[in-house]
Amino acid sequence: MKIDNFISFFVPRDKKFFTLFARSSENLVAIAKKFNELLNTLAPDKRIVLIKEIADLEHVGDNVTHEIFTELSTNFITPFDREDIHYLASSLDDIVDYIHGSAKRMQLYKIEEYTLEMIQLAEVIEKSAIEVNAAVSGLKGMKDIVRVKEAVVRINSLENQADDIFDGAIASLFIYETDAIKIMKVKEILANMETATDKCEDVANVIETIIVKNS
């Protein structure tokens, strides 16, 4: 092995990891925006197009996550703990998966009328994705930790909002809806959407861990 190659093996490739995390979190914002647009679209044809675009973005997210794992397996030194890199990448991917899963179920279950709570949750998911992107972006160089911490606080607050919306939606569903099959469909979709915000909180938690370890 040439000496240059040997040395480069031990040099942390921060730029590569942070570039990949930026792509992952930016893709999350893109899919969250598409999902929110879907929930506010009435035209059936437009909904089909948006669901296809959401599926495409989910594939993009999978590819970026795979790239991160590949980098993790081939680099001896990393910008922060390997376990935290793995957890951060997995959590970002989980958010995208739950957004895609919610959109897919709406299509499969032929949900033609989105409830107010679904629309509200979609908005919370988009806001959470934007904060996740801000927090992930702030990890590079650890230069703006205050901004990162503020984003983390907002993510936690949004997750609490999502819990309240979900709890109210389920309560109303069992009180006012008499169609058992519809209850099952709507409950599952709402649960998937609420879980997407839980996964945003997972990202916030691992980012807090990274900050503590590197402070």
Residue with tokens 């730029």: 15
Q: Classify domain 14-213 at the CATH class level.
A: mainly alpha
Percentage of residues of the chain with pLDDT beyond 70? 93
3-state secondary structure string across 46-114: HHHHHHHHHHHHHHHHHHHHHHHHHHHHHCCCCCCCHHHHHHHHHHHHHHHHHHHHHHHHHHHCCCCCC
Which residues, other chains included, contact 200 with Cβ-Cβ below 8 Å and sequence gap of 6+? 95, 125, 128, 129, 131, 132, 155, 158, 159
Domains of the chain, residue spans: 14-213
pLDDT tens figures, 104-130 = 999 999 999 999 999 999 999 999 999
Question: Taking residues 37-54, what's their average pLDDT?
Answer: 97
User: Is the model's pLDDT at 13 over the cut of 70?
Assistant: no
- Res. 10: pLDDT tops 80: no
Mean pLDDT of 81-87: 93
What pLDDT does 120 receive?
Answer: 98
Q: What is the pLDDT of residue 142?
A: 75
pLDDT confidence of residue 75 = 78
Amino acid at 111: I
pLDDT band at 76 (very low <50, low <70, confident <90, very high): confident
Residue percentage of the chain with pLDDT more than 90: 81
Q: What is the mean pLDDT of the chain?
A: 91
Q: What is the pTM of this model?
A: 0.91
Q: Write the pLDDT tens digit of every residue in 128-162.
A: 999 999 999 998 877 778 999 999 999 999 999 99
- Lowest mean pLDDT segment, chosen from 49-53, 141-145, 148-152, 209-213: 141-145
Q: Which residues contact 122 (CB under 8 A, 6 or more apart)?
A: 35, 36, 38, 39, 40, 193
